[in-house]
Each structure stands twice: as structure tokens, then as C-alpha cells.
Amino acid sequence: MEDLNQKTNIEPTKEDLENPEGRSLNDMLQELRILLQGAQVLTAFLVVLPFNQSFGKIHPFEKWVFTATFLCSICSMVFFSAPAAHHRLIRPLINRMTFKLFATRMILIGLLFLSFALILVTQLVVWQVLDTTTSILVSTFVGILILFIWWLFPLFLKKRVGD
């Protein structure tokens, strides 16, 4: 247990130590279901977009933004679905703590890709609706919002509770 904590820097909670097969794994899987649905909806929107008649009229740079957005969205789905695929393939789980560590890493990497996808899709949509400058400002705002709410605020709370 000590080696696992030193390698990952992820401390098991009291709940994990008391009931390693219990609720915390189920909570993680519920979170994945929510994240995966969001990534699927975004990807579905992006899959349909190129088949729209006006898509050919967008600026060439926006086509690159679209491609990057689409790739980020697909990558987030791959990382979010990885724990379910692994769980199914290695069932029954031999080491739940190792699986939870793997799933946590996949969720965080998936969140990183989803963060970029949301910022880029904001830029793509606002550019089409308004203009370049506004799209940069709005996507920057969305990026800052995601940075603070998804990444910095949880770290701040973790540090504050740890003190």
C-alpha cells in the first residue's frame, strides 16, 4: 500500500481503506457515465457538422479548429470508456486499488481532452455566430472557467481539507 501511494501521489480515502470494494468504485463509475455522455453528445454534434451544406464555406483555419476539436472529443471518449473496457476484459478484478488508480488516471486524461474540446468548440461556434475577436474572448473565458472550476478549485479544496 505504501509503494502505491508514493508512486501515484493519490491517497486512499478512509472509505477505501475500510471498504476497498465498496462505494468509492461505484461512485467513480457513476462519474464516468456522466462524463462519457457529455463527450458523446459533443462528438455526435461534431460528427454531423461536416455534412451540413454551409460547412464547406467556413474559413480554412476553422476547419483545422474543427479537426482538433473532433480529435479531442474522440480522445476524451476513448479515455472515459477505457476503465469499462478494462474492467470487462480483466473481470473479475484481482486488485481493485490498482484498477481504481488506472481509472482515475484515465478520467483525468479524458477530462484534459474534454477541456480542450469544449474550449475549441466554443471558439468554433462563436466564430460562426459573431466574429474572430469575440470568439477568442469567449473561448478564453470558457478556458479560464474550466481551469478554475474543474482543475484549480478541486485542488484548492483538497489542500484546504488536508490542512
Give the pLDDT confidence of 29-88 residue by residue, as tens digits: 778 778 888 888 888 888 888 888 888 888 899 999 999 999 999 999 999 999 888 888
HSE at residue 65, side-chain half, CA atoms within 13 A, is 21
* pLDDT given at position 13: 57
Q: State which amino acid sits at residue 118.
A: L
Q: How confident is the model at residue 117 (pLDDT cuts 50, 70, 90)?
A: very high
Please identify which residue in the block is written with the cell numbers 455534412.
51
Name the more confident of 45 and 124. Answer: 124
pLDDT of 139 higher than 70 = yes
- In order of 42, 47, 98, 128, 144, the CA distances from 115 in angstroms are 12, 18, 26, 20, 10
* pLDDT given at position 151: 93
- CA–CA separation, 104 and 109 (whole Å): 9
Q: How confident is the model at residue 1 (pLDDT cuts 50, 70, 90)?
A: very low
Q: What is the mean pLDDT of residues 3-9?
A: 45
Q: Let me know: does 46 contact 70? Beta carbons within 8 Å.
A: yes
Cell numbers for 37: 455522455
Q: What is the pTM of this model?
A: 0.78
